[in-house]
Amino acid sequence: MTRKELLAAAREHGTPVVVIDHAVVRRNYELFRRHLPNVQAYYAVKANPAPEIVRTLYEAGASFDVASLPEFLLVHRNIEHLPAKARQDYIWDKIIYANPIKPKETLEALNQYKPLLTYDNLDELKKIRRYAPNAGLVLRLRVPNTGSMVELSSKFGCDSGEAADLILEAFRLGMVVEGLSFHVGSQCTNFENFAQALNIAAAVREEAASRGGHRINIIDIGGGFPVPYDSHVKPFSALAKTINAQISRLFSKDVEILAEPGRFLVATAATVVARVIGKAFRDGRTCYYIDDSVYHTYSGIIFDHCQYRVNSFRKGRAELCTVFGQTCDGMDTITHSEALPELRIGDLVFSGSIGAYSNASSTFFNGFSPAKVVHINEARTAMISSIAR
């Protein structure tokens, strides 16, 4: 996305505005498939549930990881055109409900679709047996999350020592455990997490087979694939090399490998453009106030432990400054140390790589509406005219 294109979007739609380039979404999906050719990508819809993104990935051949009934129905709307049997086959093969804890009302609503559901404890297993007996099961394992930006192992996943018991109990109750899953933590830059997790899954799979003769044919390696927010993040190709080597060593070719990339597919596809609405000198530093906030597009600062660079369209000698959001909350701080040239009220700024866990978490706090979202889905030669018309 060029600066000229971003300025054109701001002129037409006002600010704040989030511009999502679907060519980048498709390129990220192709990159994932190229480096992990034997892993089926199930897009984690929670990363950015825009229907336009779901449609683009559906057309590209992606599967979907959903974590709520509304997310399931969002994906379902993209396959309503399919005949009933094809639609059911798609749900069984292409959608996993990866939230280990589910309200009984959700289970009752999902049961007719015979979905693939995750669980990680005995109470959840019994709940699924009662309210969604037609579901297939995937057992979520607890694995190391060391070095990941968002740690998940303290909330989800059973210990490996109890995994085989939970698998055997599911079969005893008349249900079928199709697979094992894990999540190494969001934005995982410690690639050893994946290696350890795959070894844990392989050991649990072997124990289940030896104790009950139950063969597990699906391994879901979850998400956590890191986005290059800065130069310290190693290239995805290096992580893929580690994953491919472990999969080849631990599993036969008839085992289906799934993954749940979310951030990786959409983060770099979006840029937000905001406007400077105020300026002050405070604590020895220039402070700028913009018409977006951590309760809106920059919500990833709070909910995702992420920092976004604020960039200026204006050139000049840069000085360290503070950038605040538009709400009256003192916590609404975008950054305390951004290098920017001197800006005027009304100038525009922008932040890239903000497509994941950002506008998806926007609120109406303080009465401010979320940013407008513009989806660019044409060839780059037609992009400016499609924005500006």
Of the candidates 281, 282, 276, 296, which has an alpha carbon nearest to the alpha carbon of residue 357? 296
What 3-state DSSP class applies to 139? strand
Alpha helices in the chain (DSSP H): 3-13, 22-35, 51-60, 69-77, 84-94, 104-110, 122-131, 160-172, 192-212, 236-250, 263-266, 300-303, 383-388
Rounded CA separation 35/51 (Å): 26
Q: Is 160 helix (H, G, I), strand (E, B) or coil?
A: helix
Phi, psi of 102 (to 5 degrees): -135, 140
CA distance 25 to 31: 10
DSSP state of 141: B
Catalytic residues: 328
Q: Among residues 307, 311, 306, 293, which one has the least CA distance to residue 362? A: 293
Sign of the Cα pseudo-torsion (277, 278, 283, 286, in order): positive
Which sign, positive or negative, has the C-alpha torsion 353, 359, 364, 365? negative
Q: Retrieve residue 335's tokens.
A: 């950054």
Q: Reduce the DSSP state of residue 220 to 3 states and report it.
A: strand
**Pairing, β 372-376 against β 17-21:** parallel
Task: State the Cα–Cα distance between residues 137 and 119, nearest whole angstrom.
Answer: 7
Angle between helices 160-172 and 122-131 (to 10 degrees): 20
Q: Which amino acid is at 194?
A: F
Check if the beta carbon of residue 342 is closer than 8 Å to that of residue 271: no
Residues 48 and 290: their CA atoms lie apart, in Å, by 23
* Nearest CA among 127, 125, 132 for reference residue 110: 132
